[in-house]
Structure 1
Amino acid sequence: MWQALTAFAFSLAVAGQDAGAGVAAPQDPATRVDDVVVQGRRLEDLVSDFVTETSAPARGRGLARWQGRICVGVVNIQPELAQHIADRVSQVAMDLGVTPGDPGCRADVVIVFTDDGRGLATKLAEEHQRAFRSGVGGLDRGRVAFAEFAESDRPVRWWHVSMPVNAETGQRAIRLPGDVDAQGNPVAPVIGVFAASRLTSQIRDDLRKAMIIVDIDDIGQVNLPQLADYIAFVSLAQVDPTADFSAYDTILNLFEEGVAAPAGLTEWDVSYLTTLYRVLDSPQAPSNAKRAVGRITDAMTRERQDASRRGDPPPADSDR
């Protein structure tokens, strides 16, 4: 098992209430009725808090998404279960415009099942740290977050590696250790600027690798569709594992004590993922995480308002 996991580790190296209820007709047109105040948070505030709390980009970089193609590998469980999870992650990715890899492709998303999540994460962190952290800033969440990934007791833990790339060509936009010319001199990628802006950038951030570790002994009574949807979400978006999602109708509450978890991805979840991928794929994509959060908040708020007009159920009871 460890030989297989070692190979996978090295593959990570970076190359509200009803408003109409109880309203009576006015008895006297000359009588002024005070405005009704609905207690709770506004939709825009709710969305803004969710997007802000969820987002966990690499240090100093913008939010990232998968581009082009994604290959999902699931190891250390029965083949039929592994196939179900890989297929579900790939399907959600495809719904977001990302092409699943062919059978036998080299995994970009590695999902490992184990009976000792902390032990496995710690061992990989100690023996193959360079596979998770290349030593170059801006590719991951940093040393403190990496220690938390290794040492936490969460049933599911995840680690993403992203890469700044030229938005026009898709080529890497930073220098990595070992980048030298024919004479052995350090070299860095050259970016030809075609759309300089203080609000947008020619450089975008792409997800390149993700490691998901599932502790079988700690996942409790969750069912396979729930688990697969949870893994899909944390595979396809940079999610803060320490965030509190209890105020939201989201699959991210799957392991939240005292919070009823949904049967799978909710409309709220799909709205977030769809908006995230659409905003980050725009030629006018925001140049940093703060602007991306604002853009995603605006777009997701409009989408949820449209859903409300269609009569879709609200995302959550919003007061914490």
Structure 2
Amino acid sequence: MPLHLVTGGAGFIGSHLTDRLLAAGHDVVVFDNLDGGKRENVPDGAILVVGSIADRKTVDELFAHHAFDSVFHLAAFAAEGISHAVKAHNYEVNVIGSTHLINAALRTKVRYFSYASSVAVYGTGRVPMHEDDHPQPADSYGNAKLTIERELAITAHLQNLPFTALRMHNVYGERQNMADPLRNAVAIFLNQIMRGEPITVYGDGSQLRSFTYVNDIIGCFLDAADNPRHWNRAINVGNQKPCTVLEMAHAVRDAMGVPDHPIHHLAAREEVHAAYTSSELARLLLGGWEDTPLAEGLAATATWAKTHGPVQPRSTLSLETEPDTQPEWYTTATSRTEKP
């Protein structure tokens, strides 16, 4: 039976992918530094190896001990909004760490490399965003994601390592890390409600996003891996119905049964105002799926969150710039966090 590596497999999306691979009869090794992931997210039957993709020695040892058929690379530093203020960390993990994996895959003759990319590669531009649009990242996170997409294309051409890059956006669902104060708006809002804190929305909340329920698109990773004729390209995957962040906040309140929970508007921050994609190509090449309505997906996520209970926000990040340059939104987001 093929053995697959899932980096970030103790995290949110990675653990759902590991579930699917195991259910399909595959063997899986999960590689995760457990910064945002949790041991309990790793399903029975998978092997957990704790380590960072940024540590070349650990990556090389991992590949020396296991003969991987495929690599599903989901591990990342994914706090997009703050990525410009932690440039070294962003590129160390998302570019250098990814490069360690690509090199190890080449040395050990891995058959296929799956890459979890992001809508952030597009930056600003027309919406919905299409695969033939010219990517112009608006932040360091998107720049890192696009860098690895391009590196994989070069590697496929010159060194024959096939890949698929799946450009996801605003994925939510069970097992999201509610302790992270800097990313995953759905999880942040759920935790704020359970902690008795107001939901915090940047600006007027008119930012347009499409929120994607994790179970809708997780199968795309398996479908892409099983379709060699569609390899060596980037494909958008996600919900195609946009809504505003404020509308989503109201929907979260409804899902939690507290429609009058207070919403506090913070100062606006610099971000792409409208970011969502067309996933018509994915539905054509990888098999169609029905987008779970936002209310339905949030209801399932809220049920999980209530069972999980509120958590203390925590962050290991420190800005790489001087303290007096910290934006107000970052100070507010981290004001109630604890350092692990």
TM over 0.5, shorter chain: no
Return the structure number with greater relative CO, CA threshold 8 A, min gap 6. 1
| TM-score, with structure 2 as normaliser | 0.30
Structure (1/2) with the larger strand percentage: 2
Instruction: Normalising by structure 1, report the TM-score.
Output: 0.31
The structure whose residues are more often helix, as a share, is 2
